[in-house]
Every structure is written in structure tokens, then in C-alpha cells.
Amino acid sequence: MNYQEIISKIYDEIKCDFGKGKLADYIPALANINCKKYGVAISTISGAKFNFGDAEEKFSIQSISKVFTLTMAFCRLKENIWQRVGKEPSGNPFNSLVQLEYENGKPRNPFINAGALVLADIVLSEYEHPQDQLLSFVRELSGNEDINFDLKVAASEKEKGFRNAALGNFMKSFGNITNNIDAVLDFYFHQCSISMSCMDLARSFLFLANHGIIPGNDKRILTISESKRISSLMLTCGLYDESGDFAFRAGMPGKSGVGGGIVAIIPKELAICVWSPELDKYGNSYLGVETLERFTTMTGVSIF
């Protein structure tokens, strides 16, 4: 399969669609990104790599980081994690407060903001040096030791993080947050600020494509069953309330972030990351979704 030719052809087809989305201007540090940035990277289980455009430029991964913290929390709590966070699509915006009240402070899934705050709380409780260990974990998965928090982005998120603070305090009133709210929010803002490239992210998701094992060093991170559960949640919940449409169009488990990145996997085959910072009305990369739909259509490769 000539992936290089395919991703180049996709760009030629969609480049006329720049301008149809908008930047995440509610986070000041993301409001001034060049909206014409576009990168694609593919890493295969066998070790092949393909990239196009701005694939080596780092950007703020935002909610893509929730897959990493879910993995860390799942490794410690195992199936007990589902007592604190659900497994169902939300059908509401990623920062909605409404659903929490109906469900007594238990988030519908780990990938909405409320769910990610519960994951942050678990990581704070289960790891001695949570921020350092998160970075170490991401560096190991990606094979890149030069991955760090973007402190400017973290500060920008904290400055405008009122709704996340409301979510955290509301869940604490139900006993579903155990640590100090400020500490949970600080960890969450830092995890969202992690700066990675498309190439870094494609490599870092290969362990899920490989059923829990990092290709190359054969280190097992998750059991086959645990890997299946995280991939299933990516398929049903990974793109917020656009998840069903994305599954219909692209047929891949994926996770997006408001920094404009989307990472998706084909089990036993590959991981692919697209970065284009203009977002659609659901908070997902407009050209990222278009790219991944075309990728599975042109290659005939999906999970179905």
C-alpha cells in the first residue's frame, strides 16, 4: 500500500477547504496558531513511517492526552475504574455540566472533560510523581525524550478554566474527586498542554494498534482485553458528540483534541495522526475528519 502517495493525494483534494473551521479561540494560547498548518503521519506495526506537510511540528495535544491518563489509571485500578467513570457516549458537549447532575457526579465516559478530571484525580492518588511519570510514559510510547509540557498553554488554560473548575467541584460534592481541586486542575491543564508532533503521536498510539504491546521493544502496557476496552471507548466516545458520525465515516477508533489533532488506529496495522487546527462545530479538526474519512475510503482499510 503506497501510503505516501495516498496522503499526498488527500491533501490535494481537501486543501480548498481551509477556512471552513475555526480556531479554539476560547483558549488564548491556541487562538493565534497559523490556521493553514496541516500535517499527517503514519506509523505501522512493522516499523514503516510516512509523513506529509507539518508532521514534524509540535502542537498542543489537548484531549488526546486523555488516552494516556486513562491507560495509566486503568493500569492501577483495573476494572474498578468503571465504578468512578462510565463507558457510554455522552451525546452532549465535552464540557457539559448538565449530565453530571442527572448521574450523581459520575461522568458518562473518560473522554469528556468531567471524566478526564476523574482520571487526573486517580493518577494523582496512584502515582508518586504524577506529572513526571506522565511525561516519562508518553516519552516511552513515542520514543522521543524531547516531549514536554507547554507551560504557556497550561497557564492559558488555567486562566480560562472556570468551567473545568465547576465540573471538578461539582464531582467533589458527590465524593468522586478525592484530591484537592486545585491540584487536580493543575495536573489536567498540564496534561492537555503536552506538545507533540503528528509523528510522535502516531508512534505513541501503536501500542493500542498492537493490542497493548509497544512494537519494537515488545513491552506489554495493557492486556489484550484492556487494550480492547480503550480502543472501544475511542470508537464510541473519542470525538465527543461527533463520535458516531466519525465511526460511520472513517471506521476507526480515534481521539481528538481542540489543538487540532486526531489520532486513529487500525488494529494490527497502523496508527495515523492528522493535525489541522481549524475546528468544526463539535470541537474536532475539520480537515482532520475529512482526511481520515478519505484515508479509509482510498485504502479500503478500516476496522469493519
DSSP 191-207: HHTEEE-HHHHHHHTHH
CATH number (3.30.470.20, 3.30.43.10, 3.40.50.1700, 3.40.710.10) of 3-298 reads: 3.40.710.10
For 161, 215, 219, 233, 271, the CA distances from 46, given in Å and listed in that order, are 41, 8, 15, 25, 11
Residue 93 pLDDT more than 80? no
DSSP type of residue 241 = G
**pLDDT computed for residue 265 by the predictor:** 98
Cα–Cα distance for residue pair 102/118, rounded to 1 Å: 17
The sign of the torsion formed by the CA atoms of 62, 68, 71, 72 equals negative
pLDDT digits (tens, 9 = 90+) for 20-50: 999 998 888 888 899 999 999 999 999 999 9
Q: How confident is the model at residue 102 (pLDDT cuts 50, 70, 90)?
A: confident
Q: What is the CB-side half-sphere exposure of residue 148 using CA atoms within 13 A?
A: 4
Could you state, in order of their start, the residue ranges of all structural domains in the chain? 3-298
**pLDDT, mean over the chain:** 95
Residue 302 CB partners (closer than 8 Å, separation 6+): 250, 251, 252, 266, 296
Residue 2 CB partners (closer than 8 Å, separation 6+): none
Cα–Cα distance for residue pair 28/189, rounded to 1 Å: 13
Q: Report yes or no on whether pTM surpasses 0.75.
A: yes
